[in-house]
Amino acid sequence: MSMKRKYRFRAILFDLDGTLTDPFIGIARSVNYALHQLGHPPLSDPALRRWIGPPLHDSFAQLLGDPTLADQAVAHYRQRYWEIGLYENMVFPGIPELLADLKTHGIRLFVATSKIRPSTERILAHFGLQPFFEAIAAVDPDDRNGSKAMVIATLLPCLHTDRAWTVMVGDTVYDIIGARSHRMPCIAVTYGYGEYQELYHAAPLALADSVATLRSLLIAE
């Protein structure tokens, strides 16, 4: 069967947290570490789940009500996350096999994440995922915002004519909105950290409740 018949896309942009890996423990502990350093009470696990996806500085600023305190919190967070938190992570079962199959058949693979670049590269290398990806779009450490639309924009020159056959895969409405800002479809995975109703109402191209379902959407076998 030809690639054109078997594969629906020529290029795929993957979010990292909640899509390729489950980062909850590392992120949750690092957020609460940062809050502790500032004398703020810890957040519950349900509250912390909503921190996975949005830009980190935005979340701290909203909680603390002060951009300067948010800067300090981000610095504390990154200290712990860089040393410990990024290893408190796991790759979702089936992801390496899916990436390998896509790569073997000539599909161009990219990472588009609102995480900072050093952590992103270290995570992908640590879990053996980096060789699958042609390029990584992430956030510079001094960038407060790092919206998904901005991240995706940095990859557009790499896509050339394949842009018309490109899809974003992510687990939050930020992925859907970011992709839509560039007239790009998005497949939303519901096994990550986005709220199902929010994802549904954001009207992605499709919803995938598991890696197996995602595979069926990306590979027409």
* Residue 2 confidence (pLDDT) above 70: no
Token pair for 172: 């939050």
Q: Angle between the 67-83 and 56-64 helix axes, to the nearest 10 degrees?
A: 130
d(CA 133, CA 115): 16
187 strand-pairing partners: 169, 206
Give Cα separations from 46 to 20, 76, 105, 114, 123 (angstroms).
21, 22, 39, 21, 24
Give CATH 3.40.50.1000 domain extents, the chain.
Answer: 3-23+90-218
d(CA 84, CA 122): 12
Amino acid (one-letter) located at 179 = A
- Fold classification of 24-87 is DNA polymerase; domain 1 (1.10.150)
* pTM greater than 0.85: yes
Neighbours of 163 (CB within 10 A): 16
Reported residue count of the chain is 221
Which residue in the list 15, 17, 171, 175 is annotated as catalytic? 15
pLDDT (average), residues 57-85: 94
- Fold classification of 3-23+90-218 is Rossmann fold (3.40.50)
d(CA 148, CA 66): 23
Question: What tens digit of pLDDT does each residue of 149-189 get?
Answer: 999 999 999 999 899 999 999 999 999 999 999 999 999 99
* Residue 16 confidence (pLDDT) above 60: yes
> HEC profile for 129-179?
CHHHCCEEEEECCCCCCCCHHHHHHCCHHHHHHHHHHEEEEECCHHHHHHH
Give CATH 1.10.150.240 domain extents, the chain.
Answer: 24-87
Asked about 101 being catalytic, the answer comes back as: no
Neighbours of 221 (CB within 10 A): 8
Q: What are phi and psi of 129, to 5 degrees?
A: -95, -20
What burial letters (b/e) apply to 34-61, b meaning 16+ CB within 10 Å? bbeeeeeeebeeeebbebbbbbbbbbbb
Question: What tens digit of pLDDT does each residue of 116-160 get?
Answer: 899 999 999 999 999 999 999 999 877 655 789 999 999 999 999
Run of H or E including 187: strand 186-189
Pick from 157, 34, 141: nearest CA to 85: 34
Look over the chain and give the mean of its residue pLDDT values, rounded to a whole number: 92
Q: What is the pLDDT of residue 102?
A: 95
